[in-house]
Structure 1
Amino acid sequence: MKLKLGIKAGTEDYSLFRTTLVTVSKLRKTCILRFTSSRLVIISTPNSTGTVIDQGQVWCTVPYDVFDTYVVNSIREDNRVAMECPCDTIVGVLRKFDKCNASQLTIKLVRLVTVDKESEAAAAAQNSDNTLCGLSFSFQDTRDERTIQHNIKVGVKLLYNAQDQKIVEPTVNYVEILMLQLPNHLSEWGPGLNAFFKRIERYSNMNVLKIHGEQVGEKGSLKVIVNEFDWKLNIAWKGPLDAMLNEMEIENPQLESRIDTVANEDDAVAEQPTLNTTNDEMQIDDSDVVDTAGYVRATETNLPFQGQSSARESQDKLKGHEVIVKARDWKVCAKLYESFEEVVLVISHDDSCVFHCSLERGIDRDENNKEKGQIIYYISKCKSLN
């Protein structure tokens, strides 16, 4: 088994690789690195660590041509090399690499302990957790006409073939799904949609919520509905959303369909009750919602909705897609939205919700249809619709 990677500093490809690892480190303490002949897949699931802040699964894809050197040799199917590693430690090494005046980063799979051939079998039996290997990060720092060689080793746990095969990417019911192309967070509508996502962060004792999406022509609408503790919270976004409603099963799980047109609609309207706020248990730092942006407006109610039958009847005439998810999972989506430029929200009715982020390779590259990086956050329903 052999693994050797090389990547140049200060490039768009390095930024893609670093952004992917930093994003995963904000959600989990450990992750799975799965190297194949065509790509690096970074996997983070609730089962891959102890205490987690959410129940969603993160699947990230880094194309092999991001690296200048990409050598993977394994006897396993698809030439796989899989390992479990600490996220924070690897991100810390990358931050140290960024501070140095280094141009090239080399990553190798090495043995951390030298074992004699005669006692290799006995040592393997005593170390059944397979922790004798590690990733070696090597780079040179040139300062004041001096060259300092850095060689940092991070312990990893190699996964056996049986363990690796059990880690399977979630499947989504692609029959009659609704896909919503979200506005860029740097665009005119970005601050408003960001405030829409973060609205629920004010209510730390909220457990579950309902994501409701609809398609009206070529445009879409999105609402977050909460109905628990004898009160109801309804946050509606009516800004620009491009929608695609799929009536047939889609064979491409990578969600490559994109809608490029952007339409302008009305401001968002939110109706919510007054509730005392407490410290959020999310690991990701919360940000205050800016109401003065003019995109989200709140009104207070003390009882569940009354006197809104006309609006409800008009909405029932439209084909809506809903799914009930954990509030913590939705808070993770808020953090992902403000970090990436191209985001697609997929709602599979009463099944799951998918937050798909694309990572650009840079605008200075030739137009040769190179594969983009991807970060996909899978959220399974926590309970069925009533």
Structure 2
Amino acid sequence: MALKIISFIFLLIQLQISFAHPPGLSSADLTVKPDGLDAKLTFAVQDIEAFVPMDSDEDAEVTTAERDAAKPAIANYVANELKIHLDGLEVKAITPSTVSFDNQNNATVDLHYQGTPTTSALIESTFLSRLPADHKQYITVKNAGGHEIAKKMLTQQANVLEINLKNNAEPTVAENHPTSTFIDFLKLGVEHILTGYDHLLFLFSLLVVTRSFWPAIKIITFFTIAHSITLALAGMNIVDIPSSIVEPLIAASIVYVGLENIIRGDKVSTRARCILTFFFGLIHGFGFAGVLREMGISSIETGILVPLFSFNLGVELGQITVASIVLPLIWWLHGKEKISRFLVPVGSVLTCLAGSYWLLERTVLN
């Protein structure tokens, strides 16, 4: 009976193994200039591979040459999916457009449109309708001097940004309030941690050996401090580590903690666990930062402090919510003698299996 209860708990976690990451994110930065409008769209490469195949020889590996060969098709596809209306008239992108790839597995498309709006501008991202329902695109519009005109978090249900430029007044747009940015990124942080099953499983594997309130609080605090540091460093582009390194390390951290739980069990001191948590928390922070990188928050004119703070706050709120539900359950199970002796070893074996799967998926199977 004890084994069935523990296995069921971990089964709920591992049913989500294939969905270890949140829905995709992208960004669109538009600049209104006297000679036209420039647009820069950044998104994960996998978000477009289904529509613009890159693996021409079908060997399950996309080479640099294959990516380069796909650039014209990518530019054309993205240009067709970004609808621009200036003063009520639709304008088309001028070719040639440029496409580039970075070491975070993102693609950036630079487009140019003729015409400068005098009364209104409308941007519609039909690209979102072809992606998973929860995909989000953060769009910002600036003038030639770099002043932010408007911003909005686009979704499938709200994929249009309208700007009113009439009477030479300040541009008006409903989403152009600082509070909107704060709330958008706060929600994004909550969603990221609640759908980041690898991060949650790591935290669970740290807490499963605890039996009281303060050791758990200390572990959560060290994890928070650590990932906040690297989230800020990566978000501000001070430290840049490719996702191809960070993601396997996150999976490895899960395996390591699971193995330590199996070998040492309850003999792990709170101090040692806090040190371990801080070290691995630094790595997880780079994983959190990948979300903000994909959205290009460093290009936000008002600075990255509000998005960074609100996103991190959202992560913490989500984390606290999960911990407040999971910890009482863990302590209750520890209080059941027949279950307690199996909780850590069985749970840790299942944790190692999940971590190993993610590790293989992000290295050998990638």
Q: TM-score range by the shorter chain?
A: under 0.3
Normalized against structure 1, the TM-score is what?
0.21
Normalized against structure 2, the TM-score is what?
0.22
Which structure features the higher share of helix residues? 2
Which structure features the higher share of strand residues? 1
Which structure has more relative contact order (CA 8 Å, sep 6+)? It is 2
